[in-house]
Amino acid sequence: MLNIDLTGRRALVAGVADDGGFGFAIAKSLAEAGASVCVATWPPALNIFHNLLERGKMDESRRMPDGSLLTFEKIYPLDAAFDTLADAPDDIKTNKRYKELGDFSIEGLVQRLTTDFGAPSVDIVVHSLANGPEVKKALMDTSRSGYLSAIGVSAYSLVSMVRQLAPLMRPKGSFLSLSYMAGERVIPGYGGGMSSAKAALESDTRTLAYEAGRRHGLRVNTISAGPFASRAASAIGIIDAMVSYCAANTPIPEVLTATEVGTTAAFLSSPLASGITGTTIYVDKGYHAMGMAVDRGTPGTV
């Protein structure tokens, strides 16, 4: 039997703050395949995440097939808007949700991993990070600062993470990020520069695959997932309508599950996908293949 086996491998999933999104589902799938999993969490959500874990509020979703609970090897603070701690402004560093955390930058994350596990020590890095402060605004109405913030956190942070984490990666390691159809087609309501960020993310995936492959022997891919009503996605404001529309117009007319994205991520992170890099993998029930909305009055519909 051909199995996904990640035994002995260490994964870092950046962007996990609860049990309701793709990041958590990916972390759980990696763990089910045998990997040890560390997560990185946005500082303003870190205490809430710890409280959910400590109070057992996530126990049901953490349940593994053997009855045990998913555990995280380490939980690190990470604000991917900052490459180094020096990049963070004083009002962030002195904020009550940040000031006791030490170095919460990408460089700080690398230093913590090195201290905890040495180098090389990581096999899989998952970038499940996105933020667009003006996501509800049309692109034409988006400010320069809102646009650049969306690009910085949602796309450039992958570049920074590949650059800074590559020396920590073991041979044949894998980077993986999460994209969305808005990077290549118009999704009205998905604004604030987030569509531009996803387009940049997919373009950067191809270039990073070449550069990280040649320099370090590492793979870089992205998953273009269908819409999913996570807590983070609620910021878009129309996520329920997006989910319903896609479920009605996909070749497989079902709502996408987070587990389907998680298992795809586990495959792409495994040796079974050793020949796949620089690729956008669609996990959207086939929505990307459609060129017309399904309508009973359209010839050829079923």
Q: Which residues are catalytic?
A: 180, 190
State the Cα–Cα distance between residues 110 and 175, nearest whole angstrom. Answer: 15
State the Cα–Cα distance between residues 26 and 262, nearest whole angstrom. Answer: 4
Look-up: residue for tokens 């569509």?
A: 195
109-116 long-range contacts, CB within 8 A, separation 24+: 109/14, 109/40, 109/76, 109/78, 110/164, 110/165, 110/168, 112/74, 112/76, 113/12, 113/38, 113/76, 113/165, 113/168, 114/168, 116/74
Q: Which residues contact 18 (CB under 8 A, 6 or more apart)?
A: 24, 45, 48, 49, 52, 58, 231
Buried b (16+ CB within 10 A) or exposed e, 116-136: ebeebebbbbbbbbbbbbbbb
Tokens of 129: 């990070």
Residue 188 CB neighbours (<10 A): 9
Residue 3 CB neighbours (<10 A): 9
Amino acid at 210: Y
Helix-strand-coil split of the chain, %, nearest 5: 45, 15, 40
The DSSP secondary structure of 11-66, one letter per residue, reads EEEE--SSSSSHHHHHHHHHHHTT-EEEEEE-HHHHHHHHHHHHTTTTHHHHB-TT
**Residue 34 near residue 6, CB atoms below 8 Å:** yes
